[in-house]
Amino acid sequence: MAPMGIRLSPLGMAVFCLLGLGVLYHLYSGFLAGRFAFFMLSEPAAAGPETPHGSAAGGAVDLRELLAVSVLAATRGGEEVKRVREGNVLNAKAKGKTREGAEEQLTTGDLLSNRRMFYLLKSAFPAVQINSEERVDTADQETVPWDRSIPEDIKQKIQPKEVPAESVTVWIDPLDATQEYTEDLRQYVTTMVCVAVNGKPVIGVIHKPFSSYTAWAMVDGGSNIKARSSYNEKTPRIIVSRSHAGKVEQVARQTFGNKTVIIPAGGAGYKVLSLLDVPEKNQEEADVYIHVTYIKKWDICAGNAVLRALGGHMTTLTGEEISYTGSDGNEGGLIASINMNHKALIEKLPDLEKTSHK
């Protein structure tokens, strides 16, 4: 019997149960809706337009986007290089010695350029491996966002092309020709970014901070620079490092004749540009670029990519292709040319390969 003499009818019990079920349905459906909304909102964050490409393991990266951010990185790094040099606050110090015993210089320009370039590329493409000449200090980390905009000249010449993120290696040279930088020989200084896919250089960016000139090219894509039309294979102008001019001159003159011109210069980026049609008065012109000793890959990767994109060649002194994976050094020296018989050039310089290992 119900308390207080109240009798519960079957109809009242049914109404009460229906009300209880309604309350439970309301609560549970709200929970489900919240979970569904969370799921729907979470999905775009993993693949939406604001998420950097290649952010997930096994993802893909668009080479056109990577070219665009590489151009921006080289330019931003160049701004730091120029600012430090013009402010005369280099704080130059020796960071070690080359295999030849020469001191390698490190300046504030190297470090600030490296930080700006590395973190811009890393923020845009976090899943891509980045190798840089200078050590990246995690305590000095900064966020350098990219708005994902692509310059019009790149849009017009380059089509989107996706490759697996794990196949990509980016090589940064935040300040090429540091020795010349300390001597205020500004024309030789460049900042460079190279993108290699499966070890082959496919994107190259070479930026000259003190003239704001930037050359870029993508293999099987396009470029904003061209090869020069006039070359002389019989008596070529050979551009070499300032410290190597004596090593190359005697062999080169014996090989090509006494009229061969040897051009001593600083910076691997500058030397590659000397083979191309660069609209600058202080850019020297050469037919062949030769380096006879060990050289780091971040020094030559961008130039190698640019030459490949334009139909040129950069190989070791024995004609082997240079792979941009594994170690950061190239042991076999190099010879670079464009619109010339590259194989014939190699065959004419057999003695230089021995010199490259000294």
Residue of 75, 178, 191, 315 marked active site: 178
Angle, vertex CA 98, rays to CA 294 and CA 238, nearest 5: 50
d(CA 193, CA 66): 10
What proportions of the chain, in percent to the nearest 5, are helix, strand and coil? 40, 25, 35
DSSP reduced 3-state for 269: helix
Annotated catalytic residue 287: no
Q: How many CA atoms lie within 13 A of 257 on its CB side?
A: 7
Annotated catalytic residue 108: no
- Helix H or strand E segment including 38: helix 10-47
Residue of 62, 110, 191, 316 marked active site: 110
d(CA 31, CA 19): 19
Phi, psi of 265 (to 5 degrees): -155, 165
Binding site listing: 133, 173, 175-176, 299
- Token duo for residue 241: 């490092």
Binding site listing for Mg(2+): 133, 173, 175-176, 299
d(CA 249, CA 265): 13
How far lies 282's CA from each of 76, 183, 187, 267, 279, in Å? 22, 17, 7, 14, 9
d(CA 7, CA 114): 85
Q: Which residues are catalytic?
A: 110, 178
